[in-house]
A and B are shown apart, each in its own frame.
Chain A
């Protein structure tokens, strides 16, 4: 589905809020037809980047092109091809589900006859058939999020921005939303997706860009990103009689980055290596420790994220 044609091109984008640099020579290239994940901690500049691309925010320098054209507040032809699902639910509380979707669709498709099937399709897409006459105040959090999505995609845009669309929704709704996004992508839409949930980004995104402090840190597929970091597998071993000496011996192993023991389970974060597990078990056997249940987990996107952005708490 992905093509070589660029949907969004951002080059050397700088955005300052007073003395604070929100985007620091930020680069981004999103290919048409892909689901592109934008990852970063709170305050890393994800939403600022999206708002600059959408011509909502001014910026200090840099270039932004959407479908090869410069994006401005009056680029109505471009805007017709774009859909947005904002982080906060943005609907009229006084209108019903159908009226909300119809209104936002009408901003793109003025003719009622052309709009009606699109609205119907969006209602079905979001699974809101049983809630057509409901006002947002009567909907659950998950249904509200689905309405928010339906309002953003009803006009069948070529490029859709999803800004953390699964915040505060239950696993079922989240799953439905992710499947919906993949369906939209299969239908030809390019998706730019921001989230804090690593597993869902890993699940749906073709490529992922990790950013922090307004800078581009790493870009690639999930596997490519995992290959970029030093962290290898995580090994967890159930053992009840681990001594301090044995723990020290484990920590002394060259491939061990971090090892901790809580009286029941030994957890070891390893560097990349071929024989990490064998060497670790060897140390435990030598010390006479009994080994119970054992798991070895390959590095996750979360490991990549934490290694690249650090563990310090953000706003």
Chain B
């Protein structure tokens, strides 16, 4: 039994076709995803906008403007109090750097920097203390063309929003103080000011920061996992007298077929695990796709998923009267088609996958590719391990069904035909 295990391992690891589909293919596809989707997260992120600040008399007279700029620069202000104020008033995430500031004394100096492309724009306060942002033509062009500098348009939009809020609040406060100079003494006044400041706030509901692209990589793992069926198809066909000459030779040997199949199964399972772990490692560390900070559980996910695919391969491999080539073709067709419903092939497939999960959850539950995808998805998004454990249980139940069907087909010890 040990020698059968070792030989099956060697045969699997020397099978170039399987190695291609199980290691090279997912790595190549993950690399492709990385190239295609790599800018997607960046495009949605805020990058610092390089601006010159004209520190003239108007700027010096404007109340709170330095605190605002310091907060948007992501730096501590002159005092800790200023930083605290900025958080309280503007509700700005101190981890976000919106501005990269260069201080100048005059507009002409600021324009000089703009013309030299050293800054994207400049900030200047007017007589009423309102701040205006002036952008260079080049910056506007680049911002309108999202492919050139990912995230610039988002940053400018956010900057514009913050400055607009500052200007409106400043005008409101001045107006109120003019009509009612004692208003700052009341809590209602400050509550009103704060209320007007509250805009959109990012909160985290999931275990880990969501990634638009992660699901594609998880779906890729689902497909790679199903492709690993080929190991067991090969193992079963080469152990069955009615399926191959090699099977005849092995059946005539004095080692029980169950032992040979178990050894083959264990070898196939181990090889699948190793191949999928290589793919997972590349996706996690090569492409930087997170698994919710739960790497050990991701390894367990690979172990469960590869067990399921070996069980699936056992069932396909045991189907009588079909050649090995037909069975291998079937396994590829199954892997490709089920991956469509797990969202591998882009936005449309992802919507289809979501639609199936919502409208026909049973169909999603019996799709092994979807379940393998969900294994990693549940690690990424859910706070508890419960969804992960539930998906593991579904995959193990599937494995039991596949193995039972396989064993029924393999239980014959003698055949009508060879």
Contact = CB atoms under 8 A, between A and B. Distances in A.
Interface residues of A, number: 34
B241 A56 contact: yes
Interface residues of B, number: 28
Contact of A92 (B246, B248, B252, B253): B246
A88 B249 CA distance: 10
A76 interface: yes
Secondary structure at the A interface, as helix, strand, loop or mixed, is loop
Interface string B153-191: 000000000000000000000000000000000000000
Contact of B10 (A54, A58, A89, A95): A95
A103 B7 CA distance: 7
A82 interface: yes
Interface in A63-98: 73-74, 76-77, 79-80, 82, 84, 86-92, 94-95
A110 B253 CA distance: 12
Contacts of B248: 51, 56, 84, 86, 90
A106 interface: yes
A57 B254 contact: no
A94 B18 CA distance: 12
Given A17-B417, A56-B414, A94-B11, A79 B253 contact: yes
A76 B418 CA distance: 21
Given A56-B418, A73-B413, A99 B249 contact: no
Given A95-B7, A106-B3, A108-B254, A90 B249 contact: yes
A152 interface: yes
B93 interface: no
B415 to A, nearest CB: 6
Contact of A94 (B10, B245, B253, B414): B10
With most chain B CB atoms within 10 A of its CB, the pick from A89, A91, A92 is A92
B404 interface: no
A92 B7 contact: yes
Contacts of A122: none
Nearest to A81: B254
A92 B342 CA distance: 36
Contacts of B252: 54, 56, 79, 82, 84
Interface string A110-140: 1000000000000000000000000000000
Contacts of B416: 17, 57-58
Contacts of B3: 102-103, 106-107, 110
Contacts of B106: none
Nearest to B412: A58
A185 B414 CA distance: 29
A238 to B, nearest CB: 48
A151 interface: yes
Contact of B249 (A80, A102, A151): A151
Nearest to A85: B249
Contacts of A256: none
A41 B417 CA distance: 19
A55 interface: yes
A87 B249 contact: no
B256 interface: yes
Contacts of A25: none
A102 B10 CA distance: 13
Given A84-B249, A90-B244, A90-B248, A74 B418 contact: no
A84 B248 CA distance: 9
Which of B4, B246, B249, B418 is packed against the most chain A CB atoms within 10 Å? B249
A94 B15 contact: yes
A86 B251 CA distance: 12
A152 B415 contact: no
B321 interface: no
B358 interface: no
Residue with the greatest number of chain A CB neighbours at <10 A, chosen from B7, B10, B241, B250 = B7
Interface string B246-266: 101111111110000000000
Contacts of B7: 92, 95, 99, 103
B250 A87 contact: no
Contacts of B250: 107
Contacts of B359: none
Nearest to B241: A56
Nearest to A73: B413
Contacts of A261: none
Residue in B3, B254, B414 with the greatest tally of chain A CB atoms within 10 Å: B254
Lowest 5 A-B CB distances belong to which pairs?
Answer: A107-B253, A90-B245, A88-B245, A76-B254, A79-B254
Interface of B: 3-4, 7, 10-12, 14-15, 238, 241, 244-246, 248-256, 413-418
12 contacts: A51-B418, A73-B251, A80-B254, A90-B248, A91-B246, A92-B238, A92-B246, A94-B11, A95-B11, A99-B7, A102-B3, A107-B253
Given A55-B414, A86-B248, 10 more contacts: A51-B418, A56-B241, A58-B415, A76-B254, A79-B252, A90-B244, A92-B238, A95-B10, A95-B11, A103-B3
